[in-house]
Amino acid sequence: DAGVTQSPTHLIKTRGQHVTLRCSPISGHKSVSWYQQVLGQGPQFIFQYYEKEERGRGNFPDRFSARQFPNYSSELNVNALLLGDSALYLCASSPGQGDYEQYFGPGTRLTVT
Amino acid sequence: AQKVTQAQTEISVVEKEDVTLDCVYETRDTTYYLFWYKQPPSGELVFLIRRNSFDEQNEISGRYSWNFQKSTSSFNFTITASQVVDSAVYFCALSASGYSTLTFGKGTMLLVSP
């Protein structure tokens, strides 16, 4: 079975621009979470979506938004990019919202110049 | 609030040495889960283990073993007879029961040289 997939793999944007990152969960998984991993740090939770509804939000500004589609895939949008948004963005899927393991995708490396 | 501390930033060992990665956590929840993930240079987080807070039995899986001590809020990870392929960043993480959201430590980079 295919794992979590993310696109694109790498992305270079300029300050002030907008970016959309995409994630497809493992087949049968209904929950998707997004994490930001800055170089040298552990991943930090951004959002969790379950059954197309936001179920959790980390401490990130309103420039960050996300949504989940009927097929359970998800998009993470970041507006007005800052240099500090440069990071590896990881998507994780799990069967549901509760006590489940999260399975991570390969991530999208975003560089803001 | 939850917190995970991995005090060791980087550890260097020679192949075949045993190495222990430390993890200390803080949580007010009575039921929670602890995890270890491996992140090789490719970047993808690889799940290693999940442990329920009510299960303090140590676990062994091949060369890997985990020591959970609730009294000291620690969940340490030992690799026996390390190999070069074990070189990676290892993260300890915590989630509250009922939620799959993870709180990660800053990670420990393990370098195993031949």
For residue range A34-52, what is the model confidence (pLDDT) as tens digits?
A: 999 999 999 999 999 998 9
The more confident residue out of B6 and B41 is B6
Mean pLDDT over residues B81-109, rounded?
A: 92
**pLDDT reading at A108 higher than 90:** yes
Which candidate from A41, A97, A101 shows the least CB-CB separation from B47? A101
The shortest C-alpha distance from B86 to chain A (Å) reads 18
pLDDT of residue A101: 83
Mean pLDDT over residues B21-36, rounded?
A: 94
Mean pLDDT over residues B27-53, rounded?
A: 91
Question: For chain B, what percent of residues have pLDDT higher than 90?
Answer: 76
pLDDT in tens, A60-91: 999 999 999 999 999 999 999 999 999 999 99
Q: Which residue of A has its CA nearest to B6?
A: A42
Of the pLDDT bands very low, low, confident and very high (cuts 50, 70, 90), residue B55 is confident
- Enumerate chain A positions whose Cβ falls within 8 A of a Cβ in B: 31, 33, 35, 40-45, 48, 56, 88, 90, 92, 94, 96-107, 109
Provide the mean pLDDT of chain B: 93
Query: Is the torsion defined by CA of B44, A29, A32, B106 positive or negative?
Result: negative
Q: What is the distance between the alpha carbons of residues B34 and B3, in angstroms, rounded to a whole number?
A: 12
Mean pLDDT over residues B16-21, rounded?
A: 98
For A11-77, the DSSP string reads EEE-TT--EEEEEEPPTT--EEEEEEE-TTS--EEEEEEETTEEEEE-S--TTEEEEE-TTS-EEEE
B-interface mutation test, from A6, A44, A101, A109, most B Cβ less than 10 A away: A101
**pLDDT reading at A12 higher than 90:** yes
Mean pLDDT over residues B27-33, rounded?
A: 91
**pLDDT reading at A97 higher than 80:** no
pLDDT of residue A1: 63
pLDDT of residue A96: 81
Q: What is the distance between the alpha carbons of residues B112 and B114, in angstroms, rounded to a whole number?
A: 7
Q: Give me the phi and psi of B15, to 5 degrees please.
A: -45, 140
Mean pLDDT over residues B4-13, rounded?
A: 97
